Chains A and B, each alone.
Chain A
Amino acid sequence: MSPLLLSAYTATTCLGHGLDATLVGLREGRSGLTPCTFESVELATWIGEVAAVDEQELPAALAEYDCRNNRLVQLGLEADGFAERVRAAIARYGKSRVGIFLGTSTAGILQTELAYRRRDPLSGALPADFNYRTTHNSFSLAAFARAYFGLEGPAMAISTACSSSAKVFAAAARQLACGSIDAALVGGADSLCLTTLYGFASLQLTSTRPCRPYDAARDGISVGEAAAFALLERAPASPATGSVLLLGAGESSDAYHMSSPHPEGLGAKMAMQAALRSAGLQPDDIDYLNLHGTATPANDAAEGKAVAALFGDRVPCSSTKGATGHTLGAAGAVEAVICALALTDNLLPGSPHSENIDPSIPVRYLLKAQPGKPRRALSNSFGFGGSNCSLVLGVAE
């Protein structure tokens, strides 16, 4: 693919709001995970909760979109002056030439979960203030963002579980390549809800401790929430030094099981190979891998096999989910932004909470953040249902 410019980007996670907080957190090896006290949830698990989500007030004209997920979207859009950069792009290109591609797994389903507690005891009806379309539906965050910016062009939500907001980069790249749009707002948001917390617990995939990706004693995930966004535009022939570029995207399917990865990491390997092919690069060209690294025994083992088969033990790699939690449908965008920070701020992120690297996974896993000068990074995102996506990002010299 032709390189695309990430002309603006931002991430809001439990590490903090925006790039500075994220970068400091990654440098210091900080974790934003805390024991779960979310809503009325009673589970022995840790979560990555974003501060001040519920304090967000949506513009009065968009009140129908009000729910935790869209509050998180707004909080994320307003970090780092990102919304202003989007408005500038709209002024430049026109409101029908900026597309919206946002990933999520559960959107505002929390709103429905809460509404079900308030059903009419006689009729069973949901409360009158509940609005399925603007809160629960998987498209609600994209519809909200489209309304927030008054856009009139294409929009879609992509919902492939935990690869959702990586695959938005691929979908946007296709429309930019065809010329149907001139810029794309990409990214994703997923917020805490009962469905994912109790759901992952039912699959025995949540840890009772903070998650420990690639640790020999890893025993499950920590569910997090996040909003992360990027503005994609076609890159100029000579991008300014230090600009971050999307160089390639690769997608594949496991075709194996709904909630377990292919044990040999076959789908993962195919996605990484496709991303390298799309970028016109070889494994040796990659300087840092942000792993999917959920910290479940099966996921890390399968991904580790695929990484070792393709990259050996040369490339420094880490999963940042010990810092942010597994932000599900937002993870792909969060980790693309983390790769952008690694490329621009000479950082190889570590893996807070992980202590003893699993000796059966022969990759060069980083426990502690260290300075480095990565020029190209690859980010992995793999989801339920066997949906895989890898992105290659680079920095212009």
Chain B
Amino acid sequence: MNVTPLTAWIEGIGFLAPGLPDWPTARAVLRGEQPYTAALSVLPVPAILPPAERRRASRVIKLTLAIGFEAAANAGADVSTLATVFTASGADGHNCHALCEQLASDDRQISPTRFHNSVHNAAAGYWGIATKAMAPCQVICAFDASFGAGLLDALGQVVVDGQPTLLIAYDSEYPEPLHSQRETPDCGGVALLLTPERTARSQAQITLSPTTAAADKLLDRDLEALRTSIPALRSLPLLSRLARGEAGAVCLDYLTPMQLRIELQPC
């Protein structure tokens, strides 16, 4: 069996995390050009959604629209044509809490909106409504390994199907009492537009291979805390190298004992 390298070019990047409202800010912090300042995540209002959907848009929907659109704009890509891979360690925690609370009460007549927002692919569904993209849309969960699982599938689509694919990895917090079991502190995510061929807009080439080495950590204590507490930000060592424009390999957390080694070559 010939192994086809899982390789792609990164053409666009979107980012949002506590204290890091977009990719330019994150890039400057990761390059050491400005200090990290802790703050709550700021989620833009999704003006793209029709008013009815906008009113119902949860935090994960605002988050995914923000980072997905940032990555597409960064690449000058038309969102309506892109295949997507959504990956998250959980769904909309606030909605889930409200549902479980009501189902434990005497009145189990839950709202239809709450129910359809409870599916793991709710953010992906709203993305489709907002962008009119009819291309394939994959929605993955691998708990703490969700970024790695999403990256594997997105690279599979790029390599096998030869299509540009927008990877949107994101997480949000659960309120109490679930928060005690799942201490994700806030919203955070990264979007990468991956393409099968190098173009004038390509920022770097990445090639993924399995390893059992330990994941790279970040030297900055606050950034390292983000990496370990928000599963989508297990991607930070890769983004850090991307921000600095350095060739070389990084190792990201996936599923013990399998880890992901990513060779990066800036364009």
Q: Which of A203-243 contact B (CB under 8 A)?
A: 203, 234
Q: How far is the CA of A34 from the CA of B223 in the complex (A)?
A: 54
Chain A residue at smallest Cβ distance from B137: A253
Q: Are A385 and B143 in contact (CB under 8 A)?
A: no
Does chain A have a CB within 8 A of B89?
Answer: yes
Q: Are B104 and A198 in contact (CB under 8 A)?
A: no
Which residue of A177, A251, A255 contacts B4 across the interface (Cβ within 8 Å)? Answer: A177
Q: Are B128 and A156 in contact (CB under 8 A)?
A: no
Does chain A have a CB within 8 A of B125?
Answer: yes
Q: Are A179 and B160 in contact (CB under 8 A)?
A: no
Does chain B have a CB within 8 A of A62?
Answer: no
Contact segment of A4-12, A112-120, A343-351? A112-120
Q: Are B138 and A171 in contact (CB under 8 A)?
A: yes
Q: How far is the CB of B142 from chain A (nearest CB, A)?
A: 5
Q: How far is the CA of A112 from the CA of B118 in the complex (A)?
A: 14
Q: How far is the CB of B184 from chain A (nearest CB, A)?
A: 11
Does chain B have a CB within 8 A of A65?
Answer: no
Q: Which residues of A contact B111 (CB under 8 A)?
A: 202
Q: Are B134 and A157 in contact (CB under 8 A)?
A: no
Does chain A have a CB within 8 A of B47?
Answer: no
Which residue of B99, B122, B132, B133 contacts A195 across the interface (Cβ within 8 Å)? Answer: B99
Q: Are A138 and B177 in contact (CB under 8 A)?
A: no
- Known interface pairs A137-B89, A180-B210. Does A174 touch B131 (Cβ–Cβ under 8 Å)? no
Does chain B have a CB within 8 A of A108?
Answer: no
Contact segment of B12-20, B22-30, B66-74, B148-156? B148-156
Q: Which residues of A contact B31 (CB under 8 A)?
A: none
Interface size (B, Cβ < 8 Å)? 68
Q: How far is the CA of A257 from the CA of B103 in the complex (A)?
A: 25
Q: Which of B90-121 contact A (CB under 8 A)?
A: 90-91, 96, 99-101, 103-104, 108-112, 114-121
Q: How far is the CA of A1 from the CA of B118 in the complex (A)?
A: 34
Q: Which residues of A contact B117 (CB under 8 A)?
A: 258
- Known interface pairs A132-B182, A174-B157. Does A387 touch B149 (Cβ–Cβ under 8 Å)? no
Q: How far is the CB of B83 from chain A (nearest CB, A)?
A: 8
Q: How far is the CA of A182 from the CA of B129 in the complex (A)?
A: 37
Does chain A have a CB within 8 A of B219?
Answer: no
Q: Are A255 and B133 in contact (CB under 8 A)?
A: yes
Q: Which of B144-193 contact A (CB under 8 A)?
A: 145-146, 149, 152-153, 155-157, 159-161, 176-178, 180-182
Q: How far is the CB of A293 from chain B (nearest CB, A)?
A: 20
- Known interface pairs A175-B152, A202-B110. Does A387 touch B121 (Cβ–Cβ under 8 Å)? yes
Chain B residue at smallest Cβ distance from A162: B119
Q: How far is the CB of A255 from chain B (nearest CB, A)?
A: 4
Q: Are B137 and A387 in contact (CB under 8 A)?
A: yes
Chain B residue at smallest Cβ distance from A123: B177
- Known interface pairs A105-B120, A253-B136, A259-B112. Does A174 touch B156 (Cβ–Cβ under 8 Å)? yes
Q: How far is the CB of A135 from chain B (nearest CB, A)?
A: 10
Does chain B have a CB within 8 A of A199?
Answer: yes
Which residue of B4, B100, B124, B161 contacts A385 across the interface (Cβ within 8 Å)? Answer: B124
Q: Are A253 and B140 in contact (CB under 8 A)?
A: no
Q: How far is the CA of A156 from the CA of B152 in the complex (A)?
A: 10
Q: How far is the CA of A255 from the CA of B141 in the complex (A)?
A: 21
Q: Which residues of B contact A157 (CB under 8 A)?
A: 140-142
Q: Which residues of B contact A170 (CB under 8 A)?
A: 136
Q: List 27 A-B contacts (CB under 8 A).
A: A113-B100, A116-B104, A126-B181, A132-B181, A137-B89, A137-B143, A138-B120, A139-B142, A159-B120, A159-B141, A160-B138, A177-B160, A194-B108, A195-B118, A202-B109, A202-B110, A202-B112, A251-B138, A253-B124, A255-B133, A258-B129, A259-B112, A267-B134, A270-B134, A274-B136, A384-B121, A385-B116
Q: Which 5 A-B pairs have the closest CB atoms?
A: A385-B125, A174-B156, A199-B115, A159-B120, A251-B136
Query: Which A residues have a C-beta under 8 Å from some C-beta of B?
Result: 1, 42, 96, 105, 109, 112-113, 116-117, 119, 124-126, 130-133, 137-140, 142-143, 146, 152-161, 167, 170-171, 173-175, 177-180, 182, 194-195, 198-200, 202-203, 234, 251-259, 266-267, 270, 274, 383-387
